[in-house]
Amino acid sequence: DEPHAVHADFGRLHVIIGDANMSQTSTLLKLGMTSLVLDAIEEGVDFSDLRLQDAVAEVPRVSRDLKLQHRLTLADARQLTALEILAEYRARVTPRIDADHKVLAAWDEAVALLAEDPMQAAHLLDWVAKYRLIKGYLDRGIDPADPKLRLIDLQYAEIDPAKSLHHALVRKGQMRQLFSAAEIERAATTPPVDTRAYFRGRVTQKFGEDIIAASWQSLTVRIGEGTAAPWATVPMDIATGLTQAECGEMIDAADTVEDLLQGLTDSGIHPEYRN
């Protein structure tokens, strides 16, 4: 019930599992595979035969199965391993853009390595990378109950690069990076040009002192003193609206937020003014 867009037109699929992922490949697969499956569903592909009997209960069973031998029970009583289920999904999705091909290449590579020996995927997937670190201590005779192993478990996903074990592996060249540090830094401050994030980011950069509030769906700005309506809210309900192509020149040309609001009005976008 929170689509961050027009409620009548959009729904929101909130996939929160895996929020602690650090590996760029893990993140690519999580988002990319989900996107491919959603595209397939919209095109009429049926995945209902792969519905699990108890999906929530299977999460810990799969995550604790380090040899990937656990068989998940489907609603129709069939039992398949996680890799077998992935193979079924893989056979039914079709790439449509270049990014899809990259996702499928990573999907195929990761699954092939996991099927042969999970440890071979330690440079790609978080759980294997962390397991390799812990297993190294276990192989040296560390007690499985040693608090040091719990610390490794937590410190792997530490977001501070100076403390994170994941970042330590990156520095040693043991985790595949899909993007450079410079690209990541640039993405943190430079919005994409083909979504509403462009408008929100550019206006915030240029008129930051005039911003009262910003959200997924709107941007509220303070306008000139002495006017009858000191605030104006620009709706941003369309995710692919207010792009660089639509408003880039308008933002560049505006000297004040009033100039920008007038440009938006002239172009058919109607800000909401409030006293």
The answer to whether 21 touches 33, Cβ cutoff 8 Å, is no
DSSP 5: S
Helix (H) or strand (E) holding 80: strand 79-81
Nearest to 51 by CA among 13, 80, 91: 80
Characterize 150-185 residue by residue with b for buried, 16 or more Cβ atoms within 10 angstroms of its Cβ, and e for exposed. Answer: eebeebbeeeeeeebbbbbbbeeeebeeeeeeeeee
98-131 pLDDT, tens digit per residue, is 999 999 999 999 999 999 999 999 999 999 999 9
Nearest to 251 by CA among 212, 196, 183, 213: 196
Ramachandran quadrant class, 268 (left: phi over 0; alpha: psi -120 to 50; beta: rest): left
Tell me the β-bridge partners of 234. Answer: 219
pTM of the model: 0.87
pLDDT band at 1 (very low <50, low <70, confident <90, very high): confident
* 226 or 8, which is more confident: 8
Distances (CA, A) of 129 to 8, 28, 138: 43, 16, 15
Q: What mean pLDDT is predicted for residues 24-28?
A: 96
Q: What mean pLDDT is predicted for residues 60-86?
A: 97
* 226 or 176, which is more confident: 176
